[in-house]
Amino acid sequence: MTTIAILSALPREIALIQETYPGEVLHEGGLDIVHHISENTKTHIFSAFGGMGTTNIAAATQTLITVARYITHSAVDALFFNGIAGNLNAHLGFGDILLCEKLVYEETDSDIIAEDKPYMKTFASTPKLLALAEEFLIEQGTTKIRNNASIHNAAQLMYTEQGIRLAPAEIDNHTDNLSTHRFTVGTVATSNLFSTEPDILTQIITRDHADAEEMEGAAVSHVCHKNGVPHLVIRSMSNDCGEPYEQLDSREDDLNTSARLAAKVTIGVVEKILN
């Protein structure tokens, strides 16, 4: 038997997952958890959205793991977190994918956090799941590009004296076809703030080599490491960091497209595990 948990922050980010893996709805810990059972593959898939921010998502991650363990009487074999993020990599564009190898907290005293289990200042997705996701994306024809850790002057490429870079036409692709997009394996920065100041975003790139910023990833990985659960965080770029939240919130179709692209990657990796 295989037990898989899939989590997002928002309904739009979990929608394709729950369309693909429908099931009974369980209500626990403030979550509406869909429990999908496949008799053919002896698989249980639990999915839910947990809300934005580190506190919401940490509570949701622990609840989903606990519910899955209780119902199946077995360990969770893999947990996936997928959703949208703000881009910090000048070589990525709309809808492009970040496989989050490294996850870091911003505006946080990581030394204090690391005094408790799992005794980590930064966090990481599980290498085996990362490898499966990369394999899937290459099979889809998605182009791999460099991460910010390997790009000279990455921050200056993203934030010029004139402001946020203008995305070149060839990477401003708004389709939901993975073959037309790019991906990288890199770092995501997790913040409880929706950062829009170029000076702050430049510091995040320079200090942490982050390829994207969001509000949940490091907290998900933190809880998974605490529970010993293999996991993978997947992000699709919905916008360039620096764009005001109100402007982003008005682009409903773009947000849905970006969310579905991240979910497609999760589904692709899940199917590799099950097959």
Give the tens place of pLDDT for each residue, 8-67: 999 999 999 999 999 999 999 999 999 999 988 789 999 999 999 999 999 999 999 999
DSSP letter string, 18-77? HHHS--EEEEETTEEEEEEEETTTTEEEEEEE--SSHHHHHHHHHHHHHHHHHHHSS---
Beta-bridged to residue 237, according to DSSP, are 85
Q: Average pLDDT for residues 127-142, to the nearest whole number?
A: 98
CA distance 28 to 25: 10
How do strand 231-240 and strand 97-105 relate by DSSP bridges?
antiparallel
Q: Is the pLDDT of residue 249 over 80?
A: no
CA distance 6 to 231: 10
CA distance 29 to 65: 11
Encode pLDDT of 218-229 as tens digits.
999 999 999 999
CA distance 109 to 161: 31
Please answer whether residues 164 and 242 qualify as being in contact, where contact means their C-beta atoms are separated by less than 8 angstroms: yes
Encode pLDDT of 44-59 as tens digits.
999 999 999 999 999 9
Whole-number pLDDT of residue 128: 98
Whole-number pLDDT of residue 165: 85
Whole-number pLDDT of residue 40: 82
End-to-end CA gap in the chain: 13
User: Among 42-46, 124-128, 171-175, 176-180, which is the least confidently predicted range?
Assistant: 171-175
Give this prediction's pTM: 0.96
CA distance 11 to 238: 15
User: Beta-carbon neighbour count of residue 237 at 10 Å?
Assistant: 28
Q: What percent of the chain has pLDDT over 70?
A: 100
